[in-house]
């Protein structure tokens, strides 16, 4: 005969730690929700589990005098609008950082692949490779910091394409 054992853990939190926990869980909920909706449906069950955990944690809000952090709808508790706005702002800042980081990384690799054969890069000493990547990434970082996307152009079939708009010359979008 097998005995089913339930494991429980008691965690002691002060009010600030509780508020932080709720905020972090809510932020994680956005990430899993977006990934489940936009990237891969396999994350939907994780999203549901996280929502249930958030609801469970928020049921303790009164105990911590933190009812101001939550709203309730149809018996389910969730973070209120103020926290939602704060977490969405955090996600926006994170996404913006990742956008620039990845753009710089991809542009640097594209430039290096234009200067060197792939085999040369693969056989290059690790320190030399990282130095070359860092130099090129720094130049793109400086460019984007100074000009944003203003000077970024995509060339397709001999025509410049600026975010989907075919243009004859780059000055069409330059600021006056």
Q: Decide if 69 contacts 19 (C-beta within 8 A).
A: yes
Q: Are 54 and 18 in contact (CB under 8 A)?
A: no
For position 157, what pLDDT does the model report?
A: 64
Give the DSSP letter string of 88-111: HHHHHHHHHHHHHHHHHHHHHHHH
pLDDT of residue 158: 58
What are the start-end ranges of the E strands in 33-89? 70-73, 76-79
Q: Which residues of the chain have pLDDT under 70?
A: 1, 157-176
Residue 168: per-residue pLDDT: 42
Q: What is the structure's pLDDT at 81?
A: 92
Q: What is residue 7's predicted lDDT score, i.e. its pLDDT?
A: 79
Output the pLDDT for position 42: 83
Confidence (pLDDT) at 154: 80
Rg (CA), the chain: 24
Instruction: Judge contact between 22 and 66, C-beta under 8 A.
Output: yes
């Amino acid at each position: 005969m097998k005995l089913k054992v339930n494991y429980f853990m008691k965690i002691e939190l002060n009010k600030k730690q509780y508020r932080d926990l709720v905020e972090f869980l809510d932020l994680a909920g956005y990430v899993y929700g977006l990934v489940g909706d936009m990237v891969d449906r396999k994350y939907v069950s994780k999203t549901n589990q996280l929502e249930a955990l958030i609801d469970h944690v928020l049921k303790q809000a009164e105990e911590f005098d933190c009812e101001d952090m939550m709203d309730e709808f149809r018996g389910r508790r969730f973070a209120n609008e103020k926290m939602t706005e704060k977490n969405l702002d955090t996600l926006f800042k994170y996404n913006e950082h990742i956008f620039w980081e990845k753009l710089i990384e991809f542009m640097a690799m594209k430039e290096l692949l234009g200067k060197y054969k792939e085999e040369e890069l693969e056989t290059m000493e690790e320190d030399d490779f990282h130095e070359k990547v860092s130099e090129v990434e720094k130049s793109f970082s400086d460019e984007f910091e100074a000009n944003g996307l203003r000077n970024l152009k995509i060339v397709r079939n001999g025509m410049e394409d600026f975010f989907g708009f075919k243009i004859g010359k780059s000055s069409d979008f330059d600021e006056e």
